[in-house]
Amino acid sequence: MLDSASPLARFDDRLSLPLIAAPMFLVSGVDLVVAACRNGVIGAFPTVNCRSPEQLESWLGDIEGQLLRHSEQSGKPSAPICPNLIVHRSNARLQADLAVLLRHRPEIVITSVGSPAGVLAPLHDAGALVFADVASIRHAERAVEAGADGLVLLTAGAGGQTGWLNPFVFVRAVRAFFAGPIVLAGGIGDGHALRAAQALGCDLAYMGTKFIATRESMADPRYKQMLVESSADDILLTTAFTGLQTNMLRPSIAAAGLDPDDLPQRGAIDIGKDIDVGARENRPARWRDIWSAGHATSGVTGVLSVDDLVARTTAEYRATGPQLQP
């Protein structure tokens, strides 16, 4: 499945698909990661989904314990666990979360919102591959210069804080100067899209939106049902909530009392101050009540178990033809 020369080749016999269950804020938790990994999909989660470094320690211990028991019972190794570190200076927990990861020695770590340079050496010393997510060609070049082992390319159509480049252009431009592992993020909703990502030259791809609508995700049931009822036409790209380009569900914005077609620019909305919906404790909060999703929303037709989602994606992937090498 994977190029034998790739640093990812060590995981080849542990993956059922060249796929990562994307790390999603307030969505990816213990149950989702465990279900993905035991199904042969790399299970990723943001460390900031834990309330504290102590809870991160607990989560990792729980995930590792469950996967060890699964492997012992099934006789099959699980896919790698992949924590996601926010390396921006605004993350006051970065060093504490990093210390937890170093104790647990994850095989892969994804860095987001900044250069991976400050965490590369200790993570490499702990045996981890470090993938940096990037949204532009220049950022990809800088991550490679810093020593990142792989790149996650955030392209148009990815949920949450997203990229804006067309995936065909972005992947081919990066492949012109980088021979290491590339992960495509944005618009991967089924096995056909996953195969197309490999044909472009990617080693792996993110699937995020469809994992939101699984029984194991931490998403609110209303969020999951909204994905079922929505399509790509219901995705709005806006800077209003974070100051960065972010793909959000229009129906959730409207439900919060805002007009999706008349939003202020660049993070101007102060949730709980600008929305008058009654008592303060009932006011909507960004990410809790106003939800993100990607263009793959069009492929969400029901709330599935992770087992069923991976089985369907595997069948689609196999139906598209022989395996491709990037």
Buried b (16+ CB within 10 A) or exposed e, 133-154: bbbebebbbbbbeeebbbbbbb
E strands, the chain, in order:
19-21, 42-46, 81-86, 108-112, 129-134, 150-154, 160-161, 182-185, 204-207, 235-238, 246-249
Burial of 89 by CB count in 10 Å (0-12 exposed, 13-18 middle, 19+ buried)? exposed
Question: What is the length of the chain?
Answer: 326
Q: Which helix (H) or strand (E) holds 96?
A: helix 94-104
Is-contact 42 203, C-beta < 8 A? no
| pLDDT at residue number 322 | 65
Q: How far is CA 46 from the centre of its chain?
A: 8
Domains and CATH numbers, the chain: 7-217+301-319 (3.20.20.70), 231-282 (no CATH)
Residues sharing a CB contact under 8 Å with residue 17, sequence separation 6 or more, in sequence order: 40, 41, 191, 194, 310, 313, 314, 317
What 8-state DSSP symbol labels residue 271? T
264 pLDDT higher than 90: no
| pTM to 2 decimal places | 0.91
Region 29-47 average pLDDT: 98
| 207-254 confidence digits (pLDDT tens) | 999 999 999 999 999 999 999 999 999 999 998 887 888 999 999 999
Residue in this structure with the two tokens 């022989």, named with its chain if needed: 322
- The string of pLDDT tens digits covering residues 141-178 is 999 999 999 999 999 999 988 889 999 999 999 999 99
Mean pLDDT of 65-90: 96
pLDDT at 99 over 90: yes
